[in-house]
């Protein structure tokens, strides 16, 4: 009888009432709304780096918190201000770069009222000490410097940025603030590291892991380039990120979700992110994603846009030269070398249109494949001068516009890792591998990416220049007198000083490179159905690791024998053909 009455009542209600009625159920209400794929974990401070003014019992903040205020009010950190004297403040180090905010649990001070504090997040200790406008310090993309009220005997969650350090200052005069807990809220995708790399060189092992972690932090609801600044989907920057994801995590929905967003918000003839090369990288990522995961249905969904984009690119050829409009951009360090940019764009046209041939043939679009083939033939009739740009020379070698050995001898191999960049360093390494110079590539990885680790980095940076090294301080210490601030005193273009992101996914290239060339794992058929194993140990005694495929993990181990020959062991799931 009760059910009948409910049905009769529902039929008498207006349409809007019926539509709203299910949300009266708590479960229905929750199911009706968007869920996050992200996890939040609470991280304890690892050390107190600075105490200013009157601070008592700061070590209490290092204890593991429970996220709950209580009436016992024992073992709290006390910040106290008087009408005269230095304001109380504390600088906390959470031990490594994180994405998220902070949770603050407070105690009972005398007056039952909230207190004003200033909170500053920093990727370096010095950034957390800076003022907005000082050495490029900014609130762009993420608010990392603000004042707020903390509740009396309560809890509050604040902020969302990329950070390792947090400074909290009590702003009010004649006030006492009691901090029971300060925890970092670590927001990330809780996914396993399926791929792995271990060798006889611990420095390379750490570099591999750091690149993987850098990309992992940027795998938020979409695939970002930076967790403090550039919290956006930059398609070109995605290319090394996707290579790392394929090597470490395997399939993750953040990649097609981000590729699709870029397509949907970029109607042709616009370029993705306003940059012609970024639309070209979108094409190349589609090929790489298909080769790894073999999802033909997903690729077919891209066909209408892909075919139009390829024709749009072909229309930007003048005779046998690129004539691209939009932002003519490779990466920031090469942005003033116009001749180098032209050479790089010529190579990118070849690479993307060659990829267009591959994809069009897979999709049985013979007309588009023929258009792309003809365009590539025209472009290859002209060889521009890389103008000593390592970025351009790398792309030209990869596009076969310049012999890889020549590019390596004349440009890439000059002065080691000098003039490397965090983004295009990946393609420099790829070109050096194509030239067979694996040892020099390994040395450059150790020198260039390893130098960031030596400076206290736990993620790789938006840019780095070896010329910054002399007399530079570490990012995990307060800058000693007479030393340069590696974060605040350097940087250029869009990343001057503290605006510089110290967690940029485009810098993860060595992770994918070490898997591909040292472990020697190369996917040669869609869906990883065929994998070629060709290790290059060079000065390493051994290297081993795993590689995620749609069928499961491939495991390899390479050991150098006394005679210098390499002994290889491989385990692969059924359905995967291994070629050695």
Q: Tell me the pLDDT tens digit for each residue of 241-290.
A: 999 999 999 999 999 999 999 999 999 999 999 999 999 999 999 999 99
- pLDDT for 557 equals 98
State how far the Cα of 158 lies from the Cα of 178, in Å rounded to an integer.
17
Residue 18: phi and psi, rounded to 5, are -65, -40
Q: Mean pLDDT across the stretch 537-561?
A: 98
State how far the Cα of 288 lies from the Cα of 434, in Å rounded to an integer.
18
State how far the Cα of 509 lies from the Cα of 94, in Å rounded to an integer.
26
304's tokens: 């209408």
Domain positions in the chain are 2-31, 39-188
Which residues touch 492 (CB under 8 Å, ≥6 apart)?
332, 463
User: Over the stretch 388-400, which tens digit does the pLDDT of each residue have?
Assistant: 999 999 999 999 9
Does residue 563 register a pLDDT over 80? yes
Q: Mean pLDDT across the stretch 8-19?
A: 40
Does residue 16 register a pLDDT over 80? no
- pLDDT for 22 equals 55
- Lowest-confidence pick of 78-87, 217-226, 432-441: 78-87
Does residue 15 register a pLDDT over 60? no
- pLDDT for 41 equals 97
Dihedral sign computed on CA atoms, order 32, 33, 39, 43: negative
Does residue 444 register a pLDDT over 90? yes
Architecture of domain 39-188: Sandwich (2.60)
Which residues touch 335 (CB under 8 Å, ≥6 apart)?
329, 341, 493
Does residue 12 register a pLDDT over 60? no
- pLDDT for 23 equals 59
Does residue 18 register a pLDDT over 50? no
Does residue 7 register a pLDDT over 80? no
Sequential DSSP letters for 401-431 = SS-HHHHIIIIITTTTTTT--TTTHHHHHHH
Residue 276 parent element (H or E): helix 276-293
Angle at the Cα of 347 (from 345 to 352), degrees rounded to 5? Answer: 90
Q: Mean pLDDT across the stretch 523-547?
A: 98
State how far the Cα of 417 lies from the Cα of 262, in Å rounded to an integer.
33
User: Over the stretch 285-318, which tens digit does the pLDDT of each residue have?
Assistant: 999 999 999 999 999 999 999 999 999 999 999 9
User: Over the stretch 185-211, which tens digit does the pLDDT of each residue have?
Assistant: 999 999 999 999 999 999 999 999 999
112's tokens: 């039952």
Looking at per-residue pLDDT, the higher value among 11 and 114 belongs to 114
Does residue 13 register a pLDDT over 50? no
Where do the DSSP E strands lie in 107-244? 115-122, 145-150, 155-170, 175-188, 196-199
The model's pTM is 0.94
- pLDDT for 2 equals 37
The greatest distance separating any two alpha carbons of the chain, rounded to the nearest whole angstrom, comes to: 88
Looking at per-residue pLDDT, the higher value among 29 and 467 belongs to 467
- Lowest-confidence pick of 103-107, 109-113, 188-192, 387-391: 109-113
Percent of the chain with pLDDT over 70: 96
């Amino acid at each position: 009888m009760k059910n009948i009455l409910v049905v009769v009542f529902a039929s008498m209600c207006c349409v809007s009432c019926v539509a709203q009625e299910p949300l009266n159920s708590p479960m229905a209400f929750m199911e009706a709304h968007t869920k996050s794929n992200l996890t939040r974990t609470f991280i304890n401070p690892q050390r107190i780096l600075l105490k200013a003014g009157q601070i008592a019992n700061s070590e209490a903040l290092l204890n593991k918190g429970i996220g709950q205020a209580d009436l016992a009010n024992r073992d709290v950190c006390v910040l106290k201000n008087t009408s005269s004297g230095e304001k109380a403040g504390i600088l906390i180090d959470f031990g490594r770069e994180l994405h998220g905010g902070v949770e603050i649990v407070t105690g009972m001070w005398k007056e039952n009222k909230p207190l004003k504090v200033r909170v500053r997040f920093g990727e370096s200790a010095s950034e957390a000490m800076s003022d907005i406008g000082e050495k490029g310090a900014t609130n762009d993309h993420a608010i990392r410097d603000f004042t707020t009220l903390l509740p009396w005997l309560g809890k509050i969650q604040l902020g969302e940025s990329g950070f390792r350090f947090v400074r909290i200052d009590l702003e009010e005069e004649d006030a006492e603030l009691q901090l029971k807990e300060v925890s970092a809220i670590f927001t990330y995708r809780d996914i396993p590291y399926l791929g792995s790399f271990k060798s006889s060189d611990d420095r390379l092992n750490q570099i591999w892991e750091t690149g993987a972690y850098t990309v992992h932090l940027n795998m938020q609801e979409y695939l970002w380039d930076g967790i403090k600044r550039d919290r956006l989907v930059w398609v070109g920057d995605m290319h090394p990120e996707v290579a790392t994801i394929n090597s470490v995590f395997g399939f993750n929905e953040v990649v097609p979700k981000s590729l699709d967003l870029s397509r949907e918000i970029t109607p042709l003839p616009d370029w993705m992110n306003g940059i012609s090369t970024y639309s070209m990288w979108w094409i190349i990522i589609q090929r790489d994603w298909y080769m790894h995961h073999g999802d033909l249905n997903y690729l077919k969904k891209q066909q209408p846009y892909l075919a139009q984009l390829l024709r749009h690119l072909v229309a930007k050829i003048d005779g046998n030269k690129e004539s691209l409009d939009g932002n003519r951009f490779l990466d920031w360090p090469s942005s003033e070398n116009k001749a180098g940019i032209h050479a790089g764009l010529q190579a990118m046209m070849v690479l993307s249109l060659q990829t267009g041939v591959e994809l069009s043939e897979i999709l049985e679009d013979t007309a588009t494949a023929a258009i792309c083939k003809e365009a590539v033939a025209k472009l290859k009739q002209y060889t521009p001068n890389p103008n000593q740009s390592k970025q351009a020379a790398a792309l030209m070698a990869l596009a076969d516009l310049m012999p890889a050995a020549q590019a390596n001898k004349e440009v890439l191999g000059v002065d080691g890792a000098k003039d490397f960049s965090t983004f295009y360093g990946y393609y420099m390494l790829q070109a050096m591998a194509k030239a067979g110079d694996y040892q020099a590539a390994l040395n450059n990885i150790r020198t260039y990416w390893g130098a960031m680790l030596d400076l206290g980095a736990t993620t790789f940076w938006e840019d780095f220049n070896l010329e910054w090294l002399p007399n530079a301080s570490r990012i995990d210490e307060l800058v000693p007198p007479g030393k340069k601030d590696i974060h605040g005193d350097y940087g250029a273009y869009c990343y001057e000083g503290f605006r510089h992101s110290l967690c940029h996914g485009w810098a993860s290239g060595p992770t994918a490179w070490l898997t591909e060339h040292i472990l020697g794992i190369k996917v040669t058929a869609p869906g990883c159905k065929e994998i070629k194993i060709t290790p290059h140990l060079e000065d390493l005694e051994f290297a081993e690791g795993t590689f995620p495929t749609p069928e499961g993990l491939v495991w390899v181990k390479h050991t150098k024998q006394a005679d210098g020959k390499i002994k290889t062991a491989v385990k692969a799931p059924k359905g995967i053909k291994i070629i050695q």
